[in-house]
Structure 1
């Protein structure tokens, strides 16, 4: 019985692609990366460069990216990702970064990939989730990208924060008094940020009710709370963009995101918006994400089933169609 379970797990975690560790020099330090390539016998491939969302994310997102990388490989694309600074032994601290720092880092990774003989430099695009919505348009302003896959991207930091706060309170069935107190606390935090308060001032104002806010996190928020993608999105005009939106997103106001993308990018046909009604912010199936046990068991025994129906196939089809229009049929 045990041997059979082990065999199932190993089979489920065997992906149809080749994987190698790579090192990318940037700003005097090294990005510890992972490059996956298709097993199709071709000498050169297009590339999807991954831009993480918030948090201490490693190159594979705890292997969560691998089903997506496999789909990319099936469409004829390689995938590139790296550990955030300070994660999995990487030098630095991701909480010291601004969105511009992250864009510079990503542009350096694109330049590194473009110099490789096995990568088609004319077919390099970006994949990014959530916080990456503030990063990817900045990258496109720094270097040419052939496409963008934007998964649950945010538009405005402060609006997103307020939306997230109220959405989670509603989901918890919070009382009017609890909601009022939470909004007042959020307003106080905004005021402290606007006057560039120190972490010590924040701690004093919160009366030690810190909700996990560390000194490093306060510094990170202070650097980035004015982020707004609206103006930067202009760099994506004419670039094929797949905008992926979840039906149960408690983190990002998807209506605001879609409206802004359509207003800025226009009706030129380069924007494709896809909604997945049963998905959460992370594009997992809601029925799975609501249970830690289900997440663990599904990730172990059927990792490709974690994602909302149609999401992985939709990404693969988007890339396949790009390959056809570029003349590089997988």
Structure 2
């Protein structure tokens, strides 16, 4: 019997990009640890579920022992999260609504439906993170909020001690649904970055992404013009504060944030831009490159890998031409072929599956975005940094392109740090699977380089 092309190979078709996939039909939207209490009468039971970007996961119920049980059938569609736990007795399943920082749902076991609200975080002690900032801080930390269009944006502002006015940096996170700390694989990247820059004399604004924490909306329904507008609104919020120097507000984007920073720069009145691990090619090309750079699933045959690549290329071609009906036809035919080759009862309706591959505003914006015009238009100091072991935004391909796009800017600096991954951590292979195991959140050399560059071109 013919084997199915492994799901991990198809993730790239939907847009792997700068980080774990984060589109409505992919578990990458919720990847990481979530915990809560199943509200059993008289004895609430703690549970922890960890989702992985490849569609899998695991569940720990401490009252039933320390071992993890596999989670299957993980899905995120139209804001609804579902999964099953087939190895637990009682046909365990979950369905809940993904909201601002929680998944509010129902845990079903042996036919009994019980409330369960999952929130980000683990029940167990996390790994050591030596760079994690801990109070007391030599600066002020303030919970802030402002409006961007018709949504409220929440975040945190750190300001050096003193009267100012201080230069300021607006942080823009990588792809998908991110909190203000850009938390990924138990690393709170933006919290560490904000701490380092504020200690160096710069105010730093970091905000929750749409649909997370204190920010409204839903990122998957949002195109790049609106997301760039959120960045510009953050800069305007800073400009109205007396302790901020309105003429020295700049943008720092990581990954996809490096797409949004140049787009937002004119409306934000940006005085400088810093791009960390940001693609210098369009989103579709970046997706295709990442899929080639990252190793294929070990269980896949060469034929399956090639089939996946052919599907991906055709899918991206149809997105570029705006042929949504062609996308539906492509994937319906593929899923019908899979159902005919194997146990059809294990597949949903091919037409419904195919519909999930039609990109929404956010995914379409990413895949079709060409950063060249906005990068060439930057006439302020720019620093672009890459990691030499980053398979998601490979330096060998992106650094030369970035140098070319910024060649007319006399105050542009482009450099690569050998041995660092996409998060700017010292890495072995650079694969995202390593992120959690690496104690360092951001290599101190990168933090120093960013602060030194700011001192030279902006001044604290």
Q: Same fold (TM over 0.5)?
A: yes
Structure 1 SS opposite 2:179: coil
| Mapped contact 2:165–2:244 kept (Cα < 8 A) | yes
Q: Is the 8 A contact 2:376 2:408 kept in 1?
A: no
* SS of residue in 2 equivalent to 1:169: coil
- Name the SS for the 2:443 alignment partner: coil
- Paired with 2:435 and 2:364, the residues of 1 have a C-alpha distance of 36
> Closer, same or farther in 2 for the Cα pair 1:66/1:217, shift >3 Å?
farther
1:278 alignment partner, SS class? coil
Shift of 1:144: 1.9
Any conservation in 2 of the 1:36–1:80 contact (CA below 8 Å)? yes
Residue of structure 2 equivalent to 1:275: 416
CA distance in structure 1 between the partners assigned to 2:170 and 2:322 by the alignment? 36
Q: What pairs up with 1:138-287 in 2 under 5 angstroms?
A: 138-154=263-279, 155-169=281-295, 176-193=302-319, 194-197=321-324, 201=329, 203-207=331-335, 215=356, 218-219=359-360, 220-237=362-379, 239-266=380-407, 268-287=409-428
CA distance in 2, matches of 1:189, 1:312: 39
Query: Deviation per CA, 1:275-304, whole angstroms, max 9, x where unpaired?
Result: 111111121221497686872683xxxxxx
Between 28-37 and 220-229, the greater mean CA deviation after superposition: 220-229
Q: Quick check: 2:155–2:214 contact (8 Å CA) kept in 1?
A: no
Q: Is the 8 A contact 2:224 2:260 kept in 1?
A: yes
1:320 maps to 455
2 CA distance for matches of 1:22 and 1:150?
24
The question of whether the paired residues in 1 share the 8 Å contact of 2:424 and 2:446 is answered with: yes
1 or 2 for the larger relative contact order (CA 8 Å, sep ≥6)?
1
**CA drift at 1:164:** 0.4
Aligned to 2:324, the other structure's residue is in SS state coil
Instruction: Tell me, in whole angstroms, the C-alpha distance in 2 between the residues paired with 1:166 and 1:135.
Output: 25
Q: Provide the alpha-carbon RMSD of the alignment.
A: 3.2
User: Which structure has the larger Rg?
Assistant: 2
Partner of 1:88: 213
8 Å Cα contact 1:71-1:315 kept in structure 2: no
Q: TM-score when scaled to structure 1?
A: 0.82
Q: Which runs of 5+ in 1 are unaligned?
A: 299-304, 325-329
Per-residue deviation at 1:149?
A: 0.8
Deviation at 1:309, TM superposition (A): 4.9
1:107-148 Cα offsets, whole Å, 9 max, x none, are 111111111111100110000011122211111232421111
Change (3 A) 1:291 1:30: closer
Task: Tell me if structure 1 keeps the 8 A contact 2:249–2:271.
Answer: yes
3-state SS in 1 of match to 2:256? helix
* SS in structure 1 of the partner of residue 376 of structure 2: helix
Q: 1:102 aligns with which of 220, 227, 247?
A: 227
TM-score (norm 2): 0.61
Structure richer in strand, relative to its length: 2
How many correspondences in the alignment?
311
Task: Provide closer, same or farther for how the CA distance between residues 222 and 19 of structure 1 changes in structure 2, counting only shifts above 3 A.
Answer: same
Cα separation, partners in 2 of 1:34 and 1:17, compared to 1, 3 Å: same
1:27 aligns with 2:162: no
Distance 1:317 1:171 in 2: 41
Answer yes or no: is the 8 Å Cα contact 1:51–1:132 preserved in 2.
yes
More helix by share: 1
**8 Å Cα contact 2:132/2:192 also seen in 1:** no
Separation in 2, partners of 1:9, 1:243: 26
> How much does 1:74 deviate?
2.4
